[in-house]
Amino acid sequence: MPRGRRGGRVSAWEGGLEEEAPQAAAAVPPALWASQLQPEAAGQILLRGIFEIGRSSCDVVLSERALRWWPITPERPAGDSKYDILHKEEFIEVKDIFSVKLKRRYSAKQQGSGTLLGITLFICLKKEQNKLKDSMLDLINLSEDHCDVWFKQFKKILAGSTNVLAHSLHGIPHVVTATLHIIMGHIQPVDVCTFSTTGKLLRFGFSAMFGFGGRTLALAEKHRWMSPNQRRDFAVIKALAKLKPEDCEISFLPFMSSQDLQGRKVEGSPKSECNDRWQTIQGQILNISIMAIPCLCSVAPRGLAPNTRLNNGSMALIIARNTSRPEFIKHLKRYASVKNQFNFPFVETYTVEEVKIRPRTNSTPSLEENEWQATASENSFPWNVDGDLVEVASEVHVKLHPRLINLYGGSMEEMIPKL
Protein backbone atom coordinates (compact mmCIF):
# COMPACT_ATOMS: atom_id res chain seq x y z
CA MET A 1 0.00 0.00 0.00
CA PRO A 2 1.55 3.32 -1.01
CA ARG A 3 2.29 5.69 1.84
CA GLY A 4 3.09 9.37 1.30
CA ARG A 5 5.74 11.23 3.24
CA ARG A 6 4.41 13.28 6.10
CA GLY A 7 3.74 16.79 4.85
CA GLY A 8 4.46 15.71 1.30
CA ARG A 9 0.97 16.31 -0.13
CA VAL A 10 -1.59 19.05 -0.03
CA SER A 11 -4.73 17.99 1.84
CA ALA A 12 -6.63 15.21 0.10
CA TRP A 13 -9.78 17.33 0.26
CA GLU A 14 -8.19 20.30 -1.44
CA GLY A 15 -6.29 18.32 -4.10
CA GLY A 16 -3.34 20.22 -5.49
CA LEU A 17 0.03 19.38 -6.94
CA GLU A 18 2.21 16.51 -5.82
CA GLU A 19 4.84 18.66 -4.17
CA GLU A 20 6.05 19.60 -0.74
CA ALA A 21 3.42 21.43 1.27
CA PRO A 22 3.73 22.98 4.73
CA GLN A 23 2.49 20.94 7.63
CA ALA A 24 -0.08 23.62 8.39
CA ALA A 25 -1.96 22.99 5.16
CA ALA A 26 -5.43 22.31 6.55
CA ALA A 27 -8.05 20.01 5.13
CA VAL A 28 -11.67 20.95 4.86
CA PRO A 29 -13.04 20.47 8.39
CA PRO A 30 -14.45 16.95 8.83
CA ALA A 31 -17.71 18.43 10.11
CA LEU A 32 -18.51 19.37 6.52
CA TRP A 33 -18.81 15.74 5.43
CA ALA A 34 -18.83 13.48 8.46
CA SER A 35 -22.05 12.99 10.39
CA GLN A 36 -24.16 10.16 11.66
CA LEU A 37 -24.85 7.88 8.71
CA GLN A 38 -26.40 4.60 9.71
CA PRO A 39 -24.94 1.58 7.83
CA GLU A 40 -28.36 0.50 6.63
CA ALA A 41 -28.95 3.96 5.16
CA ALA A 42 -25.86 3.62 2.96
CA GLY A 43 -27.44 0.87 0.86
CA GLN A 44 -25.86 -2.24 -0.59
CA ILE A 45 -22.05 -2.41 -0.72
CA LEU A 46 -20.71 -2.16 -4.28
CA LEU A 47 -16.94 -2.12 -3.70
CA ARG A 48 -14.48 -2.37 -0.82
CA GLY A 49 -10.74 -1.70 -0.92
CA ILE A 50 -7.76 0.12 0.56
CA PHE A 51 -6.71 3.66 -0.36
CA GLU A 52 -4.54 6.31 1.18
CA ILE A 53 -6.65 9.31 2.21
CA GLY A 54 -4.98 12.27 3.84
CA ARG A 55 -1.69 10.40 4.57
CA SER A 56 -3.49 7.48 6.25
CA SER A 57 -4.19 4.03 4.88
CA CYS A 58 -7.95 3.60 5.01
CA ASP A 59 -10.51 0.87 4.57
CA VAL A 60 -12.88 2.33 1.96
CA VAL A 61 -16.40 1.11 1.23
CA LEU A 62 -18.54 2.31 -1.70
CA SER A 63 -22.27 1.66 -1.45
CA GLU A 64 -25.10 2.86 -3.65
CA ARG A 65 -25.66 5.96 -1.49
CA ALA A 66 -22.37 6.74 0.24
CA LEU A 67 -18.58 6.44 0.21
CA ARG A 68 -17.31 5.60 3.71
CA TRP A 69 -13.80 5.22 5.06
CA TRP A 70 -11.88 4.81 8.32
CA PRO A 71 -8.15 4.53 9.09
CA ILE A 72 -6.56 1.09 9.31
CA THR A 73 -5.00 1.13 12.80
CA PRO A 74 -3.52 -1.38 15.24
CA GLU A 75 -5.47 -2.57 18.23
CA ARG A 76 -6.95 0.28 20.26
CA PRO A 77 -4.37 1.74 22.68
CA ALA A 78 -5.37 1.29 26.29
CA GLY A 79 -6.53 4.46 27.95
CA ASP A 80 -6.34 6.59 24.80
CA SER A 81 -9.33 8.89 25.08
CA LYS A 82 -8.60 10.57 21.75
CA TYR A 83 -8.82 7.32 19.77
CA ASP A 84 -12.54 7.49 19.00
CA ILE A 85 -12.30 11.10 17.84
CA LEU A 86 -9.27 10.64 15.60
CA HIS A 87 -10.29 7.34 14.03
CA LYS A 88 -14.01 7.50 13.63
CA GLU A 89 -15.70 6.67 10.34
CA GLU A 90 -16.09 9.45 7.78
CA PHE A 91 -18.24 9.55 4.66
CA ILE A 92 -19.60 11.53 1.74
CA GLU A 93 -22.92 10.91 0.04
CA VAL A 94 -22.78 9.71 -3.55
CA LYS A 95 -25.27 12.37 -4.61
CA ASP A 96 -22.67 15.04 -3.70
CA ILE A 97 -20.11 13.65 -6.19
CA PHE A 98 -20.38 15.41 -9.54
CA SER A 99 -17.28 14.18 -11.38
CA VAL A 100 -14.36 11.73 -11.19
CA LYS A 101 -10.99 11.37 -12.90
CA LEU A 102 -7.83 9.28 -12.66
CA LYS A 103 -5.09 11.15 -10.81
CA ARG A 104 -1.69 11.03 -12.56
CA ARG A 105 1.73 12.66 -12.24
CA TYR A 106 3.28 14.00 -15.41
CA SER A 107 6.85 15.03 -16.11
CA ALA A 108 8.50 16.72 -19.05
CA LYS A 109 10.63 13.69 -19.89
CA GLN A 110 7.83 11.17 -19.48
CA GLN A 111 5.77 10.03 -22.44
CA GLY A 112 2.34 8.47 -22.41
CA SER A 113 -0.41 8.87 -19.82
CA GLY A 114 1.82 9.56 -16.83
CA THR A 115 2.23 7.74 -13.53
CA LEU A 116 -1.00 6.68 -11.90
CA LEU A 117 -1.47 7.95 -8.35
CA GLY A 118 -5.11 7.09 -7.73
CA ILE A 119 -8.58 8.58 -8.20
CA THR A 120 -9.82 12.13 -7.66
CA LEU A 121 -13.46 12.77 -6.76
CA PHE A 122 -14.99 16.21 -7.32
CA ILE A 123 -17.50 16.96 -4.60
CA CYS A 124 -20.03 19.63 -3.63
CA LEU A 125 -19.87 20.36 0.10
CA LYS A 126 -22.33 22.29 2.22
CA LYS A 127 -20.86 25.02 4.38
CA GLU A 128 -22.30 27.42 6.91
CA GLN A 129 -24.96 29.97 5.99
CA ASN A 130 -26.28 27.98 3.03
CA LYS A 131 -22.97 28.23 1.16
CA LEU A 132 -21.75 25.52 -1.19
CA LYS A 133 -18.09 24.70 -1.80
CA ASP A 134 -16.53 22.57 -4.52
CA SER A 135 -13.75 20.32 -3.26
CA MET A 136 -11.69 17.27 -4.18
CA LEU A 137 -11.05 13.98 -2.44
CA ASP A 138 -7.99 11.98 -3.48
CA LEU A 139 -8.08 8.18 -3.17
CA ILE A 140 -4.41 7.20 -3.53
CA ASN A 141 -3.48 3.75 -4.80
CA LEU A 142 -0.79 2.94 -7.39
CA SER A 143 -2.47 -0.20 -8.72
CA GLU A 144 -3.81 0.29 -12.24
CA ASP A 145 -6.20 -2.66 -11.97
CA HIS A 146 -7.54 -1.61 -8.57
CA CYS A 147 -8.15 2.00 -9.62
CA ASP A 148 -9.66 0.94 -12.95
CA VAL A 149 -12.37 -1.08 -11.19
CA TRP A 150 -13.23 1.79 -8.84
CA PHE A 151 -13.07 4.42 -11.56
CA LYS A 152 -15.49 2.49 -13.78
CA GLN A 153 -17.89 2.03 -10.86
CA PHE A 154 -17.88 5.76 -10.10
CA LYS A 155 -18.46 6.55 -13.78
CA LYS A 156 -21.32 4.07 -13.87
CA ILE A 157 -22.95 5.70 -10.84
CA LEU A 158 -22.54 9.21 -12.25
CA ALA A 159 -23.94 8.13 -15.64
CA GLY A 160 -27.55 9.39 -17.66
CA SER A 161 -29.26 8.86 -13.63
CA THR A 162 -30.30 10.87 -16.61
CA ASN A 163 -31.28 14.45 -16.22
CA VAL A 164 -33.15 14.93 -19.49
CA LEU A 165 -34.03 18.55 -18.67
CA ALA A 166 -30.40 19.65 -18.22
CA HIS A 167 -29.32 17.59 -21.23
CA SER A 168 -32.07 19.13 -23.35
CA LEU A 169 -31.25 22.66 -22.14
CA HIS A 170 -27.53 22.44 -22.86
CA GLY A 171 -27.44 19.87 -25.66
CA ILE A 172 -24.78 17.90 -23.77
CA PRO A 173 -24.36 16.44 -20.24
CA HIS A 174 -21.37 18.68 -19.46
CA VAL A 175 -20.86 20.40 -16.10
CA VAL A 176 -18.63 23.18 -17.44
CA THR A 177 -21.13 24.05 -20.20
CA ALA A 178 -23.97 24.24 -17.69
CA THR A 179 -21.87 26.41 -15.37
CA LEU A 180 -20.88 28.81 -18.15
CA HIS A 181 -24.53 29.21 -19.20
CA ILE A 182 -25.26 30.32 -15.63
CA ILE A 183 -22.23 32.63 -15.43
CA MET A 184 -23.05 34.24 -18.78
CA GLY A 185 -26.71 34.59 -17.88
CA HIS A 186 -28.05 32.68 -20.89
CA ILE A 187 -31.78 32.44 -20.21
CA GLN A 188 -34.12 30.10 -22.06
CA PRO A 189 -37.92 30.13 -21.60
CA VAL A 190 -39.23 26.58 -21.28
CA ASP A 191 -42.69 25.04 -21.73
CA VAL A 192 -44.06 23.23 -18.66
CA CYS A 193 -46.91 20.71 -18.25
CA THR A 194 -49.41 20.31 -15.44
CA PHE A 195 -50.54 16.80 -14.51
CA SER A 196 -53.93 16.55 -12.82
CA THR A 197 -56.58 13.97 -12.05
CA THR A 198 -60.25 14.48 -11.13
CA GLY A 199 -59.64 18.21 -10.96
CA LYS A 200 -56.71 17.86 -8.53
CA LEU A 201 -53.21 19.01 -9.47
CA LEU A 202 -50.68 16.17 -9.17
CA ARG A 203 -47.51 18.03 -10.16
CA PHE A 204 -45.69 20.10 -12.74
CA GLY A 205 -43.35 18.39 -15.18
CA PHE A 206 -41.81 18.17 -18.63
CA SER A 207 -42.36 14.58 -19.75
CA ALA A 208 -44.35 11.47 -18.89
CA MET A 209 -44.71 7.84 -19.94
CA PHE A 210 -47.58 5.45 -19.33
CA GLY A 211 -47.67 1.73 -19.99
CA PHE A 212 -44.27 0.17 -20.66
CA GLY A 213 -42.40 3.28 -19.45
CA GLY A 214 -44.38 3.42 -16.21
CA ARG A 215 -44.05 -0.29 -15.50
CA THR A 216 -40.30 -0.22 -16.14
CA LEU A 217 -39.79 2.57 -13.59
CA ALA A 218 -41.99 0.79 -11.03
CA LEU A 219 -39.86 -2.35 -11.39
CA ALA A 220 -36.64 -0.33 -11.09
CA GLU A 221 -37.88 1.28 -7.87
CA LYS A 222 -38.19 -2.19 -6.34
CA HIS A 223 -34.46 -2.79 -6.90
CA ARG A 224 -32.84 0.40 -5.64
CA TRP A 225 -30.05 -1.68 -4.10
CA MET A 226 -28.68 -1.99 -7.65
CA SER A 227 -26.70 0.77 -9.32
CA PRO A 228 -28.84 3.10 -11.51
CA ASN A 229 -27.68 1.52 -14.77
CA GLN A 230 -28.08 -2.02 -13.47
CA ARG A 231 -31.61 -1.55 -12.21
CA ARG A 232 -32.60 0.29 -15.38
CA ASP A 233 -31.36 -2.56 -17.58
CA PHE A 234 -32.92 -5.17 -15.29
CA ALA A 235 -36.28 -3.40 -15.27
CA VAL A 236 -36.33 -3.02 -19.07
CA ILE A 237 -35.62 -6.72 -19.59
CA LYS A 238 -38.19 -7.74 -16.98
CA ALA A 239 -40.86 -5.45 -18.44
CA LEU A 240 -40.16 -6.74 -21.96
CA ALA A 241 -40.45 -10.33 -20.75
CA LYS A 242 -43.92 -9.53 -19.37
CA LEU A 243 -44.92 -7.12 -22.14
CA LYS A 244 -48.65 -6.45 -21.95
CA PRO A 245 -50.83 -3.70 -23.47
CA GLU A 246 -53.24 -1.46 -21.60
CA ASP A 247 -56.79 -0.84 -22.80
CA CYS A 248 -56.87 2.97 -22.99
CA GLU A 249 -58.86 5.91 -24.22
CA ILE A 250 -56.68 8.82 -25.32
CA SER A 251 -58.19 12.22 -26.01
CA PHE A 252 -56.03 15.08 -27.26
CA LEU A 253 -56.29 18.63 -28.49
CA PRO A 254 -54.16 19.08 -31.65
CA PHE A 255 -51.63 21.89 -31.60
CA MET A 256 -52.70 25.08 -33.32
CA SER A 257 -49.92 27.46 -34.36
CA SER A 258 -50.11 31.21 -33.84
CA GLN A 259 -50.85 31.65 -37.55
CA ASP A 260 -53.79 29.26 -37.31
CA LEU A 261 -55.11 31.08 -34.25
CA GLN A 262 -54.83 34.43 -35.99
CA GLY A 263 -56.69 33.05 -39.00
CA ARG A 264 -59.52 31.81 -36.80
CA LYS A 265 -59.80 35.23 -35.15
CA VAL A 266 -60.05 36.89 -38.54
CA GLU A 267 -62.75 34.41 -39.55
CA GLY A 268 -64.57 35.04 -36.29
CA SER A 269 -64.62 31.40 -35.20
CA PRO A 270 -66.39 30.95 -31.84
CA LYS A 271 -64.36 29.82 -28.79
CA SER A 272 -66.66 26.85 -28.40
CA GLU A 273 -65.12 25.47 -31.57
CA CYS A 274 -62.13 24.44 -29.43
CA ASN A 275 -64.17 21.57 -28.03
CA ASP A 276 -64.81 20.32 -31.55
CA ARG A 277 -61.06 19.97 -32.16
CA TRP A 278 -60.63 17.21 -29.55
CA GLN A 279 -59.76 13.82 -31.04
CA THR A 280 -60.08 10.41 -29.38
CA ILE A 281 -58.18 7.15 -29.81
CA GLN A 282 -59.10 3.84 -28.19
CA GLY A 283 -57.48 0.44 -28.12
CA GLN A 284 -54.68 -1.74 -26.80
CA ILE A 285 -51.64 0.45 -26.14
CA LEU A 286 -48.14 -0.68 -25.17
CA ASN A 287 -46.72 2.73 -24.35
CA ILE A 288 -47.70 6.39 -24.34
CA SER A 289 -45.10 9.19 -24.23
CA ILE A 290 -45.96 12.84 -23.66
CA MET A 291 -42.99 15.18 -24.09
CA ALA A 292 -42.86 18.97 -23.82
CA ILE A 293 -39.06 18.99 -24.34
CA PRO A 294 -36.77 16.89 -26.59
CA CYS A 295 -35.68 14.70 -23.63
CA LEU A 296 -32.09 14.09 -24.67
CA CYS A 297 -30.41 11.31 -22.68
CA SER A 298 -27.71 8.66 -22.93
CA VAL A 299 -30.11 6.05 -24.36
CA ALA A 300 -31.57 8.53 -26.88
CA PRO A 301 -28.86 10.97 -28.03
CA ARG A 302 -31.26 12.72 -30.43
CA GLY A 303 -33.97 12.77 -27.80
CA LEU A 304 -37.06 10.75 -26.95
CA ALA A 305 -39.01 13.42 -28.85
CA PRO A 306 -36.46 14.85 -31.33
CA ASN A 307 -38.94 17.05 -33.19
CA THR A 308 -40.06 18.85 -30.02
CA ARG A 309 -38.45 22.07 -28.85
CA LEU A 310 -38.07 23.67 -25.44
CA ASN A 311 -40.57 26.46 -26.01
CA ASN A 312 -42.60 26.01 -29.19
CA GLY A 313 -45.89 25.78 -27.29
CA SER A 314 -46.60 22.14 -28.11
CA MET A 315 -46.09 18.60 -26.81
CA ALA A 316 -45.21 15.41 -28.63
CA LEU A 317 -47.74 12.61 -28.13
CA ILE A 318 -46.19 9.27 -29.11
CA ILE A 319 -48.42 6.18 -29.06
CA ALA A 320 -47.12 2.64 -29.51
CA ARG A 321 -50.06 0.36 -30.19
CA ASN A 322 -50.06 -3.36 -29.41
CA THR A 323 -47.59 -5.35 -31.50
CA SER A 324 -45.25 -8.30 -31.18
CA ARG A 325 -42.38 -8.20 -28.70
CA PRO A 326 -39.67 -8.32 -31.43
CA GLU A 327 -41.23 -5.36 -33.27
CA PHE A 328 -41.52 -3.32 -30.07
CA ILE A 329 -37.87 -4.05 -29.23
CA LYS A 330 -36.88 -2.82 -32.71
CA HIS A 331 -38.75 0.40 -31.97
CA LEU A 332 -36.88 0.85 -28.66
CA LYS A 333 -33.49 0.17 -30.26
CA ARG A 334 -34.11 2.88 -32.86
CA TYR A 335 -33.88 5.54 -30.13
CA ALA A 336 -30.13 4.89 -29.86
CA SER A 337 -29.56 5.02 -33.62
CA VAL A 338 -29.84 7.61 -36.37
CA LYS A 339 -32.87 5.87 -37.85
CA ASN A 340 -36.41 7.17 -37.38
CA GLN A 341 -37.78 5.46 -34.25
CA PHE A 342 -41.33 6.33 -35.29
CA ASN A 343 -41.22 4.65 -38.71
CA PHE A 344 -43.31 1.65 -37.65
CA PRO A 345 -46.95 0.90 -38.52
CA PHE A 346 -47.89 0.56 -34.84
CA VAL A 347 -46.35 3.92 -33.79
CA GLU A 348 -48.37 7.12 -34.09
CA THR A 349 -47.13 10.66 -33.37
CA TYR A 350 -49.15 13.82 -32.80
CA THR A 351 -48.34 17.43 -31.93
CA VAL A 352 -50.76 18.48 -29.20
CA GLU A 353 -51.62 21.09 -26.59
CA GLU A 354 -53.53 18.88 -24.13
CA VAL A 355 -53.91 15.14 -23.52
CA LYS A 356 -56.26 13.04 -21.41
CA ILE A 357 -55.34 9.40 -20.70
CA ARG A 358 -58.05 7.14 -19.27
CA PRO A 359 -57.19 3.46 -18.62
CA ARG A 360 -60.22 1.23 -19.25
CA THR A 361 -58.90 -1.87 -17.44
CA ASN A 362 -61.30 -2.71 -14.62
CA SER A 363 -59.55 -5.65 -12.99
CA THR A 364 -56.21 -5.41 -11.19
CA PRO A 365 -53.54 -7.62 -12.84
CA SER A 366 -52.21 -10.53 -10.81
CA LEU A 367 -48.80 -10.37 -9.19
CA GLU A 368 -47.51 -13.03 -11.55
CA GLU A 369 -48.57 -11.03 -14.60
CA ASN A 370 -47.29 -7.67 -13.42
CA GLU A 371 -44.61 -7.53 -10.76
CA TRP A 372 -44.84 -3.76 -10.70
CA GLN A 373 -48.20 -4.13 -8.93
CA ALA A 374 -46.34 -5.17 -5.79
CA THR A 375 -45.01 -1.61 -5.47
CA ALA A 376 -48.11 0.20 -6.68
CA SER A 377 -51.23 0.88 -4.70
CA GLU A 378 -54.19 -1.35 -5.43
CA ASN A 379 -56.16 -0.36 -8.56
CA SER A 380 -53.60 2.32 -9.52
CA PHE A 381 -51.44 2.62 -12.63
CA PRO A 382 -47.75 3.59 -12.62
CA TRP A 383 -46.67 6.74 -14.47
CA ASN A 384 -43.11 7.83 -15.16
CA VAL A 385 -43.14 11.62 -14.77
CA ASP A 386 -39.67 13.11 -15.24
CA GLY A 387 -38.16 9.92 -13.84
CA ASP A 388 -40.37 9.91 -10.73
CA LEU A 389 -42.92 7.17 -10.05
CA VAL A 390 -46.46 8.54 -9.80
CA GLU A 391 -49.37 6.21 -9.11
CA VAL A 392 -52.79 7.27 -10.38
CA ALA A 393 -56.03 5.30 -10.31
CA SER A 394 -58.07 7.35 -12.78
CA GLU A 395 -57.82 9.67 -15.78
CA VAL A 396 -54.76 11.93 -16.05
CA HIS A 397 -55.07 15.31 -17.75
CA VAL A 398 -51.83 16.78 -19.15
CA LYS A 399 -51.91 20.43 -20.22
CA LEU A 400 -49.09 22.50 -21.70
CA HIS A 401 -48.27 25.98 -20.39
CA PRO A 402 -46.04 27.72 -22.95
CA ARG A 403 -42.86 29.43 -21.70
CA LEU A 404 -43.98 29.16 -18.11
CA ILE A 405 -40.50 29.31 -16.55
CA ASN A 406 -37.06 30.65 -17.43
CA LEU A 407 -34.03 28.38 -17.04
CA TYR A 408 -30.34 28.73 -17.74
CA GLY A 409 -29.46 27.19 -21.08
CA GLY A 410 -28.71 27.76 -24.76
CA SER A 411 -30.70 27.58 -27.97
CA MET A 412 -31.28 24.02 -29.13
CA GLU A 413 -32.18 24.72 -32.75
CA GLU A 414 -28.68 23.88 -34.01
CA MET A 415 -28.09 21.06 -31.53
CA ILE A 416 -30.93 18.63 -32.31
CA PRO A 417 -31.17 17.32 -35.87
CA LYS A 418 -34.65 17.10 -37.31
CA LEU A 419 -35.91 13.84 -38.77
By the 8 A CB rule, do 145 and 55 touch? no
CATH for 108: 2.30.29.30
Can you give the pLDDT at residue 342? 93
Same domain, 52 and 179: no
By the 8 A CB rule, do 309 and 413 touch? yes
Task: From 109, 126, 159, give the residue that closes a domain.
Answer: 159
- For the chain, how big is the Rg over CA atoms in Å? 26
The answer to whether residue 338 is domain-embedded is: yes
Same domain, 118 and 188: no
Number of domains forming the structure of the chain? 2
**Of 166, 189, 203, which is closest to residue 398 (Cα–Cα)?**
203
Same domain, 228 and 307: yes
Same domain, 111 and 219: no
**Of 167, 121, 124, 127, which is closest to residue 140 (Cα–Cα)?**
121
Can you give the pLDDT at residue 266? 58
Q: Supply the range of the domain harboring residue 344.
A: 167-259+279-360+380-408
* Buried/exposed 46-60: b ≥16 CB within 10 Å, e otherwise: beebbbbbbbbbbeb
Task: From 143, 159, 175, give the residue that closes a domain.
Answer: 159
pTM greater than the 0.75 cutoff: no
The answer to whether residue 310 is domain-embedded is: yes
Same domain, 289 and 145: no
Same domain, 122 and 213: no
41: exposed, middle or buried (C-beta count within 10 Å: 0-12, 13-18, 19+)? exposed
Same domain, 139 and 242: no
The answer to whether residue 268 is domain-embedded is: no
Same domain, 151 and 183: no
Same domain, 154 and 287: no
Beta carbons within 8 Å of 352's beta carbon, 6+ residues apart: 252, 253, 254, 255, 314, 315, 316, 317, 400
Same domain, 132 and 109: yes
Distance (Å, whole) CA 86 – CA 387: 41
Task: From 103, 126, 159, give the residue that closes a domain.
Answer: 159
Same domain, 116 and 232: no
The answer to whether residue 292 is domain-embedded is: yes
Can you give the pLDDT at residue 87? 63
- pLDDT tens over the chain, length 419 residues: 444 433 333 334 443 333 333 333 334 444 444 444 555 455 678 899 999 999 899 999 999 889 999 999 765 655 555 555 556 889 999 989 988 999 999 887 777 778 999 999 999 988 877 888 889 999 999 999 999 999 999 988 887 655 778 888 888 877 788 888 889 999 989 999 999 998 899 999 999 999 999 999 999 988 877 767 788 889 999 999 999 999 999 999 999 876 666 556 556 665 556 667 899 999 999 999 999 999 888 788 888 999 888 999 999 999 999 999 999 999 999 998 888 899 999 999 999 999 999 998 654 444 444 454 544 555 789 999 998 999 999 999 999 999 999 998 876 554 444 44
The answer to whether residue 328 is domain-embedded is: yes
Angle between helices 212-221 and 228-241 (to 10 degrees): 130
The answer to whether residue 291 is domain-embedded is: yes
Same domain, 65 and 182: no
The answer to whether residue 126 is domain-embedded is: yes
The answer to whether residue 266 is domain-embedded is: no
